[in-house]
């Protein structure tokens, strides 16, 4: 399997995040991607390709144009304002406020375009976001050209980013971008299988009223887990999209056997849907030693995930999302891919 990777992710480093009352170094750090790349190499998964540059048109098919145009301006505006540290929001237009009027100050704009303070900018962030987007589309092209699968080693991740907001370490929703790109290239039906520990709220929001992209999410129950405000089992899609969104919220402490039942059900739905291509939002923060998560998957479980997905017999694009147990992230993420290859 080919991997697409860009070293430009590394400019997104040193960002801080707000956790339980403290501003701490971000869990989403450059070493994550480097450990995965090293494991791709040591396992001889296949060649590692550099991405090609893409215009932002494909991003604007799933994100609002004003949101995408805002992203490259964040760091320059933050600098211009003379603010220190990482660019992050501190106020949000929640219930009872005007979510329809765009303020003019950069710190307020960040709140206007965010669900939380979890997608923070430093100097190299925009270039990293753009490279992650290019990685996703380049890997999508590999599968479109006839390969059975490819691995988009995206960093930063994407699945918390919605049509007009960032959050949860995510800026552009790479999985949503490539799913839409496959539709635009002629695929009739695309399935997105999100196995990251956290609910992919952005992906759900983007496709919620559509029946041409099936969205399945396996994740920590939002009653007790980030992103809290989406991801319940009764969210099944709306309008034309009713019945084309499936959530599998699971309790803290969920072990492999229980998690695997959800995977089995989700895979059956992908097969019944008749998808032309599967996009896997590949997070490995379901791992027992993940520092911010509560599931109990072991390293030996990840190849089984890949093997089950392979059984679908469909063209498959793996898009990297979360996973914060840095030492084991390569073993677990590449474990899925080698399990897929059989
Ligand atoms: C892509 C992805 O996996 N995003 C995850 C965003 C999670 N943001 C909330 C982090 C909450 C951290 N809680 C830390 C508890 C440490 N003991
Ligand atoms: Zn996650």
ipTM score assigned to the predicted complex: 0.96
What is the atom index within ligand 1 of the atom nearest the CA of 118?
A: 8
Q: Is 159 a catalytic residue?
A: no
Task: Tell me the sheet residues that pair with 245.
Answer: 215
C-alpha neighbours within 13 Å on the C-beta side of residue 300 = 3
* CATH code assigned at 179: 3.40.800.20
What residue has token string 């303070």? Answer: 117
Catalytic residue among 9, 12, 159, 160: 160
Burial class of residue 96 (count of CB atoms within 10 Å of its CB; 0-12, 13-18, 19+): exposed
Cβ of residue 111 lying under 6 Å from some atom of ligand 1: no
- Does 67 reside within a domain? no
Domain assignment of residue 79, yes or no: no
The gap from C-alpha 293 to its chain's centroid, in whole angstroms, comes to: 16
Residue 101 domain-assigned?
no
Query: Is 245 contained in some domain?
Result: yes
- Which ligand 1 atom is the nearest neighbour of the CA of 169? 4
Q: Look up residue 41 and give its two tokens.
A: 């190499």
Q: Per DSSP, which regions of 153-257 are E strands?
A: 190-194, 213-220, 245-250
Q: 36: closest CA among 342, 340, 339, 324? A: 324
Per-residue pLDDT of the chain (342 residues; tens, 9 = 90+): 999 999 999 999 999 999 999 999 999 999 999 999 999 999 999 999 999 999 999 999 999 999 999 999 999 999 999 999 899 999 999 999 999 999 999 999 999 999 999 999 999 999 999 999 999 999 999 999 999 999 999 999 999 999 999 999 999 999 999 999 999 999 999 999 999 999 999 999 999 999 999 999 999 999 999 999 999 999 999 999 999 999 999 999 999 999 999 999 999 999 999 999 999 999 999 999 999 999 999 999 999 999 999 999 999 999 999 999 999 999 999 999 999 999
**Domain presence at residue 267:** yes
Tell me the CA–centroid distance for residue 282 and ligand 1, in Å.
Answer: 16
Which residue has the CA at smallest separation from atom 7 of ligand 1? 168
Residue 107 within a domain? no
Cα of 226 from ligand 2 centre, angstroms: 9
Does ligand 1 come within 6 angstroms of the Cβ of 225? no
Structural domain boundaries enclosing 250: 2-55+123-341
Number of domains in the chain: 1
Contact between 306 and 338 (Cβ < 8 Å): yes
Whether residue 232 lies inside any domain: the answer is: yes
Predicted TM-score (pTM) of this structure:
0.98
Check pocket membership of 220 for ligand 1, CB cut-off 6 A.
Answer: no
Omega before residue 227 within 30° of 0, cis: yes
Q: 113 in ligand 1 pocket by Cβ < 6 Å? A: no
């Amino acid at each position: 399997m080919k991997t697409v990777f860009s070293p430009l992710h590394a400019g997104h480093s040193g960002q801080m995040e707000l956790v339980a009352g403290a501003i701490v170094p971000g869990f989403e750090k450059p070493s994550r991607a480097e450990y995965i790349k090293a494991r791709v190499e040591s396992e001889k998964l296949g060649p590692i390709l550099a991405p090609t540059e893409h215009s932002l048109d494909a991003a604007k098919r799933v994100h609002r144009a004003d949101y995408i145009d805002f992203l490259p301006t964040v760091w320059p505006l933050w600098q211009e304002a003379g603010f220190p540290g990482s660019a992050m929001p501190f106020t949000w237009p929640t219930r009872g406020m005007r979510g329809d009027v765009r303020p003019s100050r950069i710190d307020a704009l960040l709140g206007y375009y965010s669900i939380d303070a979890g997608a923070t900018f430093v100097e190299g962030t925009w270039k990293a976001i753009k490279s992650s987007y290019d990685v996703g589309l380049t890997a999508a092209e590999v599968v479109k050209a006839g390969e059975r699968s490819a691995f988009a080693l995206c960093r930063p991740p994407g699945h918390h980013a919605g049509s007009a907001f960032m959050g949860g370490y995510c800026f552009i929703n790479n999985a949503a971008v490539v799913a839409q790109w496959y539709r635009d290239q002629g695929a009739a039906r695309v399935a997105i299988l999100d196995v990251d520990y956290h609910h992919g709220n952005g992906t759900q929001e983007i496709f919620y009223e559509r029946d041409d992209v099936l969205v399945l999410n396996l994740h920590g129950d939002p009653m007790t887990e980030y992103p809290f405000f989406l991801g319940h089992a009764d969210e099944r899609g709306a309008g034309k999209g009713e019945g084309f969104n499936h959530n599998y919220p699971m309790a803290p402490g969920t072990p492999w056997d229980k998690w695997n039942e959800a995977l089995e059900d989700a895979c059956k739905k992908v097969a019944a849907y008749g998808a032309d291509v599967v996009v896997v939002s590949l997070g490995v923060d379901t791992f027992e030693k993940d520092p911010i998560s509560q599931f109990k998957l072991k390293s030996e479980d990840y190849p089984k995930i890949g093997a089950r997905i392979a059984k679908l017999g469909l063209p498959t694009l793996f898009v990297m999302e979360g996973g914060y147990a840095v030492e084991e992230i390569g073993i677990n993420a590449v474990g899925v891919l080698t399990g897929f290859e059989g």
